[in-house]
A and B are shown apart, each in its own frame.
Chain A
Amino acid sequence: MKILVAVKRVIDYNVQIRVKEDGSGVHTDNVKMSTNPPDDNAVEETVKLKESGKVKEIVAISIGEDKAQESIRKALAVGADKGIHVKADSYIEPLGIAKILKKIVEKEKPDMVFLGKQAIDDDCNQTGQMLGSMLNWPQATFSSKLNIKEKSLEVVREIDEGLETLEINLPAIVTCDLRLNEPRFASLPNIMKAKKKPMELLNAKDMGVDLKNRIEQLKVEEPPKRKAGIKVTSVAELVSKLKNEAKVI
């Protein structure tokens, strides 16, 4: 079996985001970037499947500027076999990303596509679902446990009500939750070896898909500052305040 796993380079989750004064976006110059955390879980799961002998090949793909290759190299360092970098110099919406991924799927013919459940920069949570729909493949989103079978996949999903277990046929789309696993560290020798693994270079412009963005971004602004809290002396007071002042119960 062969898996395609998609990774995105985003602002590191520890960095305090700074909104540009003109509201056009956030500052990214000299800001620490890293792989989107749920994408790390996706990569880790594919490597585990490979280690268990159920998967033969892992192809890691990233779409974005040249430095997106850092995220691919990281995936290669923990166990992916081959990388594909689709160069794109400007922002592409999930729809465009899904279209590019579809083209890659048609070429690479994987049995499964793994993605993070969503990216922590735009929080869209759309790419996996759109790709599933375009390919007409079954999908399991927010997966926190996987069991691979002969021609199907048993997946436990994290949903609002608790956990849901699905069985879906292959080929399939899986989007990964943070609880799926704990990503491993890349070792120094493996980082060195990753530099020699093959990386195919493509350009988004040459993929033959319509990448026009459909959404107009009006403004980016900081969330309102949290106000100082108060201390209450009794449960009765708390309930009364929730009811009468906050009006939430």
Chain B
Amino acid sequence: MARETMEYDVVIVGAGPAGLTTAIKLKQLDPNLNVCILEKGAEVGAHILSGNVFETKALDELIPNWKNEGAPVKTKVSKEKFLFLGKNSSLSWPTWLLPSVQKNHKNYIISLANLCRWLAEHAEKLGVEIFPGFPASEVLYNDDGSVKGVATLDMGLDKEGNKKDTYQEGMELHAKVTVFSEGCRGHLGKQLIKKFNLDEGKNPQQYGIGLKEIWEVSEEQHQEGLVMHTAGWPLDSKTYGGSFIYHAENRQIYLGYVIGLDYQNPYLSPFDEFQRFKTHPSIRKMFEGGKRISFGARALIEGGIQSLPKMYMPRALLIGCDAGTLNMPKIKGSHTAMKSGLVAAEAIVENIKNKTDLSIYEKKFKESWAYKELYTARNVKPSFSWGLILGIIFTGIDQILFRGRMPFTLKHKHADHEALKPASQMPKIEYPKPDGKLTFDKTSSVYLTGTNHAENQPVHLRLKDPNLPINYTLKEYDEPAQRYCPVGVYEIQKEKFVINSQNCIHCKTCDIKEPSQNITWVAPEGGGGPKYGNM
């Protein structure tokens, strides 16, 4: 029997900064368009996690009077610091020696989740229909192979996939144009990239995992508007990563750590590196006596334009980090994601009105300021594959002397899941025990995310080969899923591979880093996952 169907002009998958920007811009250009957004989180913002030091360029274009409309963009960056950390030492890098992409004096410290909530209210006032708690789980195609829309997930199935009393069939949403804005490693975006060969001729995509905590500290420890980054310890010089420390309003500090998922040592645990980082003498004093109030993690794009896939296909677009528009050296993606949403809306309106080909979206994006800055940023991340020191020297020359205009483009050679070396060749890492005050274990951390998945539903972390973790990955790599998952979803118990999928916070790291690509993340029942507040 055919599923129930709803028809729209435009269906958008994911209510993040890119998707919401597209929706708002569409309604500004043509108020008569029927636009809806599907969002897997229980509410808009629940699955949004970001640093975030925000560049307002795209927001200025979308809603020029955002200041008077009460946008939650208030804390202006007032001071910047950059530290190189050794085990017990720290070297402050003069800010005038920082490449201009890393200067933030015009930017704001924000909660991206709150900005998305505000954008969603704005979108709803313009008549956009937003459906939180409804994950898109399937791409639908027309007979000619073009994208027809998406279907929402069947709800009320038990573990084995049998219908419970509450069973409700998913429904189809058909659209003239479907926009995919699921964020980094979107599970439908991934399928589309494969089906339409969108990454043909591109370098493999590069990812990182970002972990974040929000702390409440004393008046003395707080300096509203201070933005600080660090590189170096506790990571070795072959591992790409660093921290961010942003002093937001209300005596809160947004503290986070990003690690490139091209790390080699299967014993590395991003979560524990983050915890260990806080014990550095110059970091510890910033948080001692304070209180951790939030925790979360999310994968992010690091590949830049070398890995940016073709962003359009018949009757559908990839925008934001579902395509991969983050600017890595700038450590910012919200403004470029929003810009891709702006040009996507323009292209869609032209497509619907004048039947203009959707390829103009990519053309417009490539002519925009967003692409120009991604172009000049392109060589930074690959240069760090030579190690931290060479990476810094090259980046200094490339970014300060040449401003990103060197006449060549470095390549990303491997996908992240190919980067792991066998456990037998790599040193074990002993992480210090958490003290429960400054450093924490995964259990108490996952509790803070508010994540939950209704019991007795199909497991949303699927194994292609259920025996592989024990028969191969455990032997060869000491099953790194136990460590790369920031909330302990994967455990080896008595030679059994256990998946605690109810703890999943939808960061997508397993889908990216599993060495044999054996784990596939699919959308769980609506409303599942974290309940982030001010992330």
User: B450 contacts the other chain (Cβ, under 8 Å)?
Assistant: yes
Name the CB-closest residue of B to A181.
Answer: B165
Which of A148-156, A183-191, A232-240 lies at the interface?
A183-191
- Can you report 27 residue pairs joining A to B where beta carbons are below 8 Å apart? A12-B531, A14-B450, A14-B452, A14-B531, A15-B531, A15-B533, A16-B447, A29-B533, A30-B111, A31-B533, A32-B42, A32-B450, A32-B531, A32-B533, A182-B166, A183-B166, A184-B166, A184-B168, A185-B168, A187-B4, A187-B168, A187-B171, A188-B6, A188-B131, A188-B152, A188-B173, A189-B4
Complex CA–CA separation, A30 to B535 (angstroms): 10
User: B329 contacts the other chain (Cβ, under 8 Å)?
Assistant: no
Complex CA–CA separation, A58 to B29 (angstroms): 41
| 9 pairs of A and B residues whose beta carbons are closest in the complex | A14-B452, A32-B531, A14-B450, A185-B155, A15-B450, A30-B533, A185-B168, A184-B166, A14-B531
Partner of B171, one of A14, A29, A184, A189: A189
Partner of A30, one of B45, B155, B447: B45
Complex CA–CA separation, A31 to B166 (angstroms): 27
Task: Please give the distance in Å from B75's CB to the nearest CB on chain A.
Answer: 15
User: B14 contacts the other chain (Cβ, under 8 Å)?
Assistant: no
- Chain B 225-252 interface residues, beta-carbon cutoff 8 Å to A: none
User: A56 contacts the other chain (Cβ, under 8 Å)?
Assistant: no
- Chain A residues positioned under 8 Å from B111 (CB to CB): 30
Partner of B131, one of A15, A184, A191: A191
User: A18 contacts the other chain (Cβ, under 8 Å)?
Assistant: yes
- Chain B 102-119 interface residues, beta-carbon cutoff 8 Å to A: 111, 113-114, 117
User: B22 contacts the other chain (Cβ, under 8 Å)?
Assistant: no
Task: Please give the distance in Å from A197's CB to the nearest CB on chain B.
Answer: 16
Partner of B43, one of A18, A32, A187: A32
Complex CA–CA separation, A32 to B173 (angstroms): 27
* B46 engages A32 (CB within 8 Å): yes
- Chain B residues positioned under 8 Å from A16 (CB to CB): 447-448, 450
Question: 1/0 per position for B506-535, CB-CB distance to A under 8 A?
Answer: 000000000000000000001000010110
- Chain A 3-30 interface residues, beta-carbon cutoff 8 Å to B: 12, 14-16, 18, 21, 29-30
Complex CA–CA separation, A30 to B534 (angstroms): 7
- Chain A residues positioned under 8 Å from B216 (CB to CB): 21
Question: 1/0 per position for A75-108, CB-CB distance to B under 8 A?
Answer: 0000000000000000000000000000000000
User: B134 contacts the other chain (Cβ, under 8 Å)?
Assistant: yes
- Chain A residues positioned under 8 Å from B400 (CB to CB): none
- Chain A 167-196 interface residues, beta-carbon cutoff 8 Å to B: 182-185, 187-189, 191-192
Partner of B114, one of A21, A30, A182: A30
User: B480 contacts the other chain (Cβ, under 8 Å)?
Assistant: no
Complex CA–CA separation, A184 to B6 (angstroms): 21
Name the CB-closest residue of A to B114.
Answer: A30
- Chain B 150-207 interface residues, beta-carbon cutoff 8 Å to A: 152, 155-156, 164-166, 168, 171, 173
* A188 engages B134 (CB within 8 Å): yes
- Chain A residues positioned under 8 Å from B164 (CB to CB): 182
Name the CB-closest residue of A to B134.
Answer: A188
Interface residues in B, total, Cβ within 8 A = 33
User: A126 contacts the other chain (Cβ, under 8 Å)?
Assistant: no
Task: Please give the distance in Å from A244's CB to the nearest CB on chain B.
Answer: 28
User: A125 contacts the other chain (Cβ, under 8 Å)?
Assistant: no
Complex CA–CA separation, A185 to B45 (angstroms): 21
Complex CA–CA separation, A182 to B156 (angstroms): 10
Complex CA–CA separation, A81 to B4 (angstroms): 22
Max count, chain B CB within 10 A of own CB: residue among A12, A31, A188, A189: A188
Partner of A12, one of B4, B6, B42: B42
- Chain A residues positioned under 8 Å from B450 (CB to CB): 12, 14-16, 32
- Chain A residues positioned under 8 Å from B463 (CB to CB): none
Complex CA–CA separation, A121 to B42 (angstroms): 19
User: B269 contacts the other chain (Cβ, under 8 Å)?
Assistant: no
Complex CA–CA separation, A185 to B165 (angstroms): 11
Complex CA–CA separation, A16 to B156 (angstroms): 26
* B6 engages A189 (CB within 8 Å): yes
Complex CA–CA separation, A21 to B46 (angstroms): 24
Complex CA–CA separation, A21 to B531 (angstroms): 22
Task: Please give the distance in Å from B243's CB to the nearest CB on chain A.
Answer: 24
- Chain A residues positioned under 8 Å from B156 (CB to CB): 184-185
- Chain A residues positioned under 8 Å from B129 (CB to CB): 192
Name the CB-closest residue of A to B156.
Answer: A185
Question: 1/0 per position for A26-61, CB-CB distance to B under 8 A?
Answer: 000111101000000000000000000000000000
- Chain B residues positioned under 8 Å from A18 (CB to CB): 293
Question: 1/0 per position for B426-462, CB-CB distance to A under 8 A?
Answer: 0000000000000000000001101110000000000
- Chain B residues positioned under 8 Å from A185 (CB to CB): 155-156, 166, 168, 526
Complex CA–CA separation, A46 to B117 (angstroms): 33
Complex CA–CA separation, A15 to B111 (angstroms): 18
- Chain A residues positioned under 8 Å from B45 (CB to CB): 30
- Chain A 186-229 interface residues, beta-carbon cutoff 8 Å to B: 187-189, 191-192
- Chain A residues positioned under 8 Å from B131 (CB to CB): 188, 191
Name the CB-closest residue of B to A21.
Answer: B216
Complex CA–CA separation, A195 to B129 (angstroms): 11
Name the CB-closest residue of B to A70.
Answer: B43
- Chain B residues positioned under 8 Å from A182 (CB to CB): 164-166
Name the CB-closest residue of A to B169.
Answer: A187
Complex CA–CA separation, A185 to B438 (angstroms): 41
Complex CA–CA separation, A208 to B134 (angstroms): 42
- Chain B residues positioned under 8 Å from A189 (CB to CB): 4, 6, 171
Given A184-B166, A185-B156: A30 touches B113 (CB 8 Å cut-off):
yes
- Chain B residues positioned under 8 Å from A183 (CB to CB): 166
* A14 engages B451 (CB within 8 Å): yes
- Chain B 294-315 interface residues, beta-carbon cutoff 8 Å to A: none
Complex CA–CA separation, A184 to B452 (angstroms): 18
Task: Please give the distance in Å from A145's CB to the nearest CB on chain B.
Answer: 15
- Chain A residues positioned under 8 Å from B173 (CB to CB): 188
Name the CB-closest residue of A to B171.
Answer: A188
Complex CA–CA separation, A29 to B249 (angstroms): 14
Complex CA–CA separation, A91 to B216 (angstroms): 27
Complex CA–CA separation, A31 to B168 (angstroms): 28
Task: Please give the distance in Å from B56's CB to the nearest CB on chain A.
Answer: 20
Known contacts A12-B450, A15-B531, A185-B526; 4 additional CB pairs below 8 A are A12-B42, A31-B533, A32-B531, A187-B171
- Chain A residues positioned under 8 Å from B451 (CB to CB): 14
Question: 1/0 per position for B39-51, CB-CB distance to A under 8 A?
Answer: 0001101100000
* B117 engages A30 (CB within 8 Å): yes
- Chain B residues positioned under 8 Å from A184 (CB to CB): 156, 166, 168
